[in-house]
Amino acid sequence: MKPNHLMGQIIKLLTNEKQNGILQAELEKKLKFSRSYISETLKKLQNERKIEVRKVSGKINRLWLPKYYPGTLDHQVRIGILRSSEYAVHLSYIMEIMEREQKELIIRVYESTIDLLQDLNQSLLEIVMAPFYPSLLNSLIYANPIVCPVASGGSAIVSLPGDDVLYVSETSTMAKFAQAYISSHRNIKMVSMGNMKKNIEYFLKYGGLIALWEPYLAIALKKYNLEIKAKYEDMLLDLPCCVITFAKSFYKMENGLAHKIQNVGKLRSKGNKSIKFKDTICQLLDFEESVIIKSLDSYHYFYEYSKFSIDSERLGIYLTEGQKQEIFPI
């Protein structure tokens, strides 16, 4: 029997179990190999950093694939992002840093902010790039530090014929944008549109108002006869659309990385559109390079961390000075 056959079975089992992992004794029952052979193979996989083994109690071990391990590992960094071009510049810079430091970088693209932040709270991600408002509420509960804003702008409310309903993605900064717009257009009803990638074509066919972010905005403007009703920066310029948040335990280990990431806004605000790893990022986001590059012009990058508002009245969320220092540590 080829050794790779057993390794493949172990990897498949652990892939199915994801963050739950599996007890070694349970794994041994599922595999039709001798205990000694399984133990030898597990040791080899562990030495190659292909699995993580932790003692539960006594001689009982639990196994995971590293990417699903519920905790931080020295040799890898896991980043979760929503499907937005806003993160492309920062993501490129982080990829460069990880390559230089010879750390494995795992990037996961999410369609749901709720799922993204849930994985951060369950120690399945070290860094998340997500909408500001849900990130702020999450940090209030779990004390995960927001290390820097990404940008303002990059979104707009657009319309086809019919403007009594405003479709918006739930639990996102787009909802805050939509509320600001509706405050002066009180006859409009706000409705959740759910998954943007899945539902955008449906809503664009039937008209109404829609809050779109880049690069969906650029694609929709090119494809449909849309009218821009409001731009994000015209209403909420000093509030970022999205921010970068570290897991609390990861920030304690890698706060130097947080300071490095902050510098990206300064570079971008000076017109630096350099993005390395373009092919990888385009493949991850599932958008063409020309679309992503064009959409970057829609953003107003924060070149100083202090330049965005964390004033409680402006945010609509009361923060004590202690909470501000804990959530925005640098």
Q: What is the pLDDT of residues 278-309, one digit of tens each?
A: 889 999 999 998 888 888 888 988 876 666 77
What's the average model confidence in pLDDT over 116-134?
95
Average pLDDT of the residues in 197-211: 77
Residue 1 has pLDDT above 50, yes or no: no
Q: Beta strand 104-110 with 76-82: parallel, antiparallel or unpaired?
A: parallel
Structure tokens at 195: 């998954």
Mean local confidence (pLDDT), 95-107: 92
Taking all residues of the chain, what is their mean pLDDT, rounded to a whole number? 87
Confidence category of residue 78, pLDDT binned at 50, 70, 90:
very high
Report the pLDDT value the prediction gives residue 29, as an integer from 0 to 100. Answer: 92
Q: What's residue 163's pLDDT?
A: 63
Residue bearing tokens 């280990």: 253
> How far, in Å, CA of 113 to CA of 123, rounded?
16
pLDDT of residue 3: 52
Residue-wise pLDDT tens digits, 206-255:
777 888 899 989 888 888 878 899 999 998 888 899 999 999 999 999 88
Q: 15: how many CB neighbours lie within 10 A of its CB?
A: 11
**Position with higher pLDDT, 264 vs 210:** 210
- Whether the pLDDT of residue 312 is over 80: the answer is no
pLDDT of residue 203 exceeding 80, the answer is: no
- The answer to whether the beta carbons of residues 111 and 83 sit under 8 Å apart is yes
Burial class (CB in 10 A: 0-12, 13-18, 19+), 117: buried
Other beta carbons within 10 Å of 302: 23
CB 177 within 8 A of CB 155: yes
pLDDT digits (tens, 9 = 90+) for 141-181: 999 999 989 989 999 999 876 667 888 876 678 888 888 88
Helix locations, 34-131, DSSP H: 35-47, 88-100, 113-121
Q: What is the pLDDT of residue 226?
A: 86
Across residues 50-68, what is the average pLDDT?
93
Closest CA to 91 of 287, 267, 264: 264
**Gap between the Cα atoms of 173 and 155, Å rounded:** 10
pLDDT the model gives residue 39: 92
Residue 2 has pLDDT above 60, yes or no: no
Q: With H, G, I as helix, E, B as strand and everything else as coil, classify residue 330.
A: coil
228 CB contacts (<8 Å, ≥6 apart)?
A: 156, 157, 158, 221
Enter the tokens of residue 102. Answer: 């010879």
Distance in angstroms (rounded) separating the CA atoms of residues 180 and 55? 52
Residue with tokens 């739930």: 170
Other CB atoms within a 10 A radius of the CB of residue 64 amount to 21
- What domains, with CATH codes, occur in the chain? 3-68 (1.10.10.10), 76-152+240-327 (3.40.190.10), 155-236 (3.40.190.10)
